[in-house]
Amino acid sequence: MSKPIRASSVLPAKREDIELHTADGLRLVGELARPLDREPVATLVCLHPLPTHGGMMDSHVFRKAAWRLPALADVAVLRFNTRGTSSLRGTSEGTFDNAVGERYDVAAAIEYAEFNELPDIWLLGWSFGTDLILKYGCDPAVAGAILLSPPLRYSKPEDLAQWAQSGRPVTALVPEFDDYLRPEEARKRFAAVPQAEVVGVPGAKHLWVGDAERVLDAVVHRVNPAVAVPLPTTWDGPMETGDVSAYADRTVASFADRPVPGPPQAHAG
């Protein structure tokens, strides 16, 4: 009997706690979720929003990706806490470094995926995570990038230029009512990357509350286009229930009236 897929639904997958080791000597905690009984077609390496404002590997879009996409879309999902970030999985060593030392975190995640022969590695960033991708993710092992709510706060013109030169696909999903960068301005900024696709998402906001399904459909359409979207909203088979209560406050309060560290030009996540 089919059951509705809810925010707390955990579909079957091979899930394992992992550790990433950075070139500057830190241990980062994470999780890898893979399809239960077949090899993945593609891989998502997730880079979360600002840890100083509630961002972590369990931020709700990434949590739902890990809980659903191995079963629904044959996609492996690797998510981890950048330096100094905590979640139920644990705390990664080090301290938040304003998108400087995090270059080693990005490299460690890509290296882990490559060493473990995970296929077709795509970087999926959200807010602060998009800046990490633009600055440090243009790696030969990476197939492309998907950016959720990119603020373009830490990124510089030379970062966009390297993606432009690489020719690798870049998709930016930009909420209509984003707090930091809205679709019209995003199209102007991303014009520096000719192959970049900027998708305005009507009615959405920076935190994608209530819009995770639209995000997951857009992601799957790009990393495994053989899978029909929209993805199913019901599941006929075993399904567990995850505890989402530990995350709700961090999602809603992530960017509420608190100063954002880093470059002074604008507030962003």
Q: Is the pLDDT of residue 28 over 50?
A: yes
Going by pLDDT thresholds of 50, 70 and 90, the confidence category of residue 259 is very low
With beta carbons less than 8 A apart as the criterion, state whether 231 and 220 touch.
yes
Beta-strand pair 3-4/27-34: unpaired
Cis-peptide into 230, omega within 30 deg: yes
What global pTM score does this model have? 0.93
Average pLDDT of the segment spanning 10-33: 98
Q: Is residue 226 part of a domain?
A: yes
Going by pLDDT thresholds of 50, 70 and 90, the confidence category of residue 1 is confident
Residue 78 pairs in a beta bridge with: 32, 45
pLDDT attached to residue 195: 98
Average pLDDT of the segment spanning 46-64: 96
Going by pLDDT thresholds of 50, 70 and 90, the confidence category of residue 249 is low
What residues contact residue 183 under an 8 Å CB cut-off, 6+ apart? Answer: 174, 176, 198, 199, 200
Q: Is residue 167 part of a domain?
A: yes
Q: Is residue 11 part of a domain?
A: yes
Q: Is the pLDDT of residue 46 over 70?
A: yes
With beta carbons less than 8 A apart as the criterion, state whether 146 and 123 touch.
yes
CATH number, position 216: 3.40.50.1820
Q: Is residue 212 part of a domain?
A: yes
Each residue of 192-242: pLDDT tens digit? 999 999 999 999 999 999 999 999 999 999 999 999 999 999 999 999 999
Going by pLDDT thresholds of 50, 70 and 90, the confidence category of residue 254 is very low
Q: Is residue 263 part of a domain?
A: no
Scanning 41-139, the segments in alpha helix (DSSP H) are 60-73, 102-115, 128-136
Beta-strand pair 14-21/27-34: antiparallel
Each residue of 151-168: pLDDT tens digit? 999 999 999 999 999 999
Task: Say which residue, 258 or 125, is predicted with more confidence.
Answer: 125
Q: Is residue 261 part of a domain?
A: no
pLDDT attached to residue 257: 40
pLDDT attached to residue 267: 38
Q: Is the pLDDT of residue 8 over 70?
A: yes
Q: Is the pLDDT of residue 250 over 90?
A: no
Q: Could you give the number of structural domains in the chain?
A: 1
End-to-end CA distance of the chain: 41
Average pLDDT of the segment spanning 20-41: 98
Q: Is the pLDDT of residue 118 over 90?
A: yes
Each residue of 94-110: pLDDT tens digit? 999 999 999 999 999 99
Going by pLDDT thresholds of 50, 70 and 90, the confidence category of residue 245 is confident
Residue-averaged pLDDT of the chain:
93
Q: Is residue 266 part of a domain?
A: no
Q: Is residue 262 part of a domain?
A: no
183 vs 178: CA distance, rounded Å = 8
With beta carbons less than 8 A apart as the criterion, state whether 166 and 143 touch.
no
Range of 141's domain?
Answer: 3-252
pLDDT attached to residue 244: 82
pLDDT attached to residue 247: 65
Q: Is the pLDDT of residue 262 over 80?
A: no
